[in-house]
Structures are given as C-alpha cells and as structure tokens.
C-alpha cells in the first residue's frame, strides 16, 4: 500500500465509546482516508454479535452485556486481552472478507509461533486455537466497503468470565491465553508491538506510523 498504516495505542478504554468512535470513523471517512488500527484493552464487558442468542449469556453478573453490530456470537473483553480494531478500506485494497479473516488468523498464528506456541485456525469456527482451546477471537463488520471491529488475543488475563457465557456460541468451549502457553514471561507491550508488525506485514503495508493515542469518543 502506498499510504502508511496508522496505529493508535489507546490503553485501557471503555467499550461503548470506542465502538461508537469506530462507527463514526467508518461512516465519515473519505476515499483517500488512510487506514487505521486501534490497539487497546477494554474494561470488563460481554459483547453480543448480530447472530448472538440470549441463551448463550449464562450468568453475566456485574459485567455489562452490550449488543453490537459485528458478526458472530457473544464474547468477553477484559484487561490483559489485546484488542485490535481494523479500520480498513477493503474496497480500495481489494481484500474480500474471507481473505481478510484468513490474513488475521495467519497474523495471530505467526505471532504465537514467535513465542514458541503452535496454533491453528478452524475452517468452521473463525478464530485461533491451541490444542483445541481458543486463544483469539475474530469479529468484523463491513459497511460500504470499509471494515471495523477486529480481533481479540488473550494475553495475560482473568479467564473466569468466559465461564459465564458460551463463548462464540459454543457451550463448554475451553479458553486459553498466551501467558499459560509461552515458555517465558510475557510482556504485554511487546506482544502489542509484535502484533503491530504482523498486521502491517499481512495487510501488505510497507509503511506504518504511530498516531495520537486518543479518539473522538
């Protein structure tokens, strides 16, 4: 790509203002607007995708449940999970949604391999898995040829809230995280930096740039 890929490091942010900011960015961008990726963590929240069924939210307790406009079923976001929102003009790049999902999965698989963790994708269940346990979830929305939402990688977090739902609509799905799979200690900022490099590579960007770590929320 001739335009640089912009990255915003947002830290820990609330879900709903970030979601609405994604929508605004997507709806107001022009034909020449550079693509952006937002890297962040969320305060604890369950998000229910467009295909989500209420029976997959078992006992949320004090964690809010937000109905959102991405694909997929219910998932959990919380501190220690690395989230990347891909705000891409896929019409301009010519990347179809299936190809984009495949690239996201390859990006995560290569990142995990850099920590000595062998992971794989499943053709019937988008995401990335280690020995059958899910370590990363994917969920996208394409509107007017532009993508938003993205991926969530479990790095070093409390996995207990996943027991309050059927993750991605699968009862009893095992969840795992990088901190439990890697042979050496994990530094969250380093994982984020490696994800940034992998995303640039798999999205065919020769240049990237750091943007201000704030959004119009």
DSSP assigned state of 34? P
* 137 in a known ligand binding site: yes
Tell how strand 125-130 and strand 120-122 pair up. Answer: antiparallel
* 6 in a known ligand binding site: no
* 170 alpha carbon, distance to own chain's centre: 19
* 61 in a known ligand binding site: no
d(CA 151, CA 217): 20
Q: Which of 168, 175, 199, 203 is catalytic?
A: 168
* 58 in a known ligand binding site: no
For 108-142, give one letter per residue: b (16+ CB within 10 A) or e.
bbebbeebebebebeeeebbbbbeebbbbbbbbbb
Tell how strand 125-130 and strand 133-143 pair up. Answer: antiparallel
* 66 in a known ligand binding site: no
* 70 in a known ligand binding site: yes
Q: Which two tokens stand for residue 106?
A: 């390859």
Helices (H), the chain: 15-28, 90-93, 97-113, 178-181, 188-202
* 138 in a known ligand binding site: yes
In sequence order, the 6+-apart residues with CB closer than 8 A to the CB of 93 are: 1, 35, 203, 204
* 74 in a known ligand binding site: yes
* 10 in a known ligand binding site: no
**107 catalytic per annotation:** no
* 84 in a known ligand binding site: no
* 177 in a known ligand binding site: no
Catalytic residues: 168
Task: State the binding site for substrate.
Answer: 70-77, 137-139, 150-152
Numbered residues of the known binding site: 70-77, 137-139, 150-152
């Amino acid at each position: 790509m001739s335009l640089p890929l912009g990255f915003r490091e947002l830290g820990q942010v609330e879900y709903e203002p970030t979601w609405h900011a994604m929508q605004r960015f997507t709806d107001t961008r022009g034909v020449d607007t550079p693509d952006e990726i937002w890297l962040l963590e969320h305060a604890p929240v369950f998000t229910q995708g467009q295909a989500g069924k209420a029976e997959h939210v078992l006992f949320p307790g004090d964690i809010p449940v937000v109905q959102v406009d991405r694909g997929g079923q219910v998932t959990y976001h919380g501190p220690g999970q690395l989230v990347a929102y891909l705000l891409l003009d896929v019409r301009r790049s010519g990347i179809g949604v299936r190809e984009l999902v495949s690239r996201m999965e390859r990006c995560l698989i290569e990142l995990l391999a850099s920590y000595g963790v062998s992971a794989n994708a499943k053709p019937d269940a988008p995401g990335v898995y280690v020995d059958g346990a899910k370590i990363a979830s994917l969920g996208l929305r394409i509107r007017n040829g532009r993508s938003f939402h993205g991926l969530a990688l479990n790095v070093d977090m409390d996995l207990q809230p996943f027991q309050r739902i059927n993750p991605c609509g699968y009862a009893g799905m095992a969840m795992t995280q990088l901190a439990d799979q890697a042979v050496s200690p994990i530094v969250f900022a380093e994982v984020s930096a490696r994800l940034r490099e992998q995303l640039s590579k798999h999205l065919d960007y020769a240049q990237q740039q750091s943007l201000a770590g704030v959004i119009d929320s």
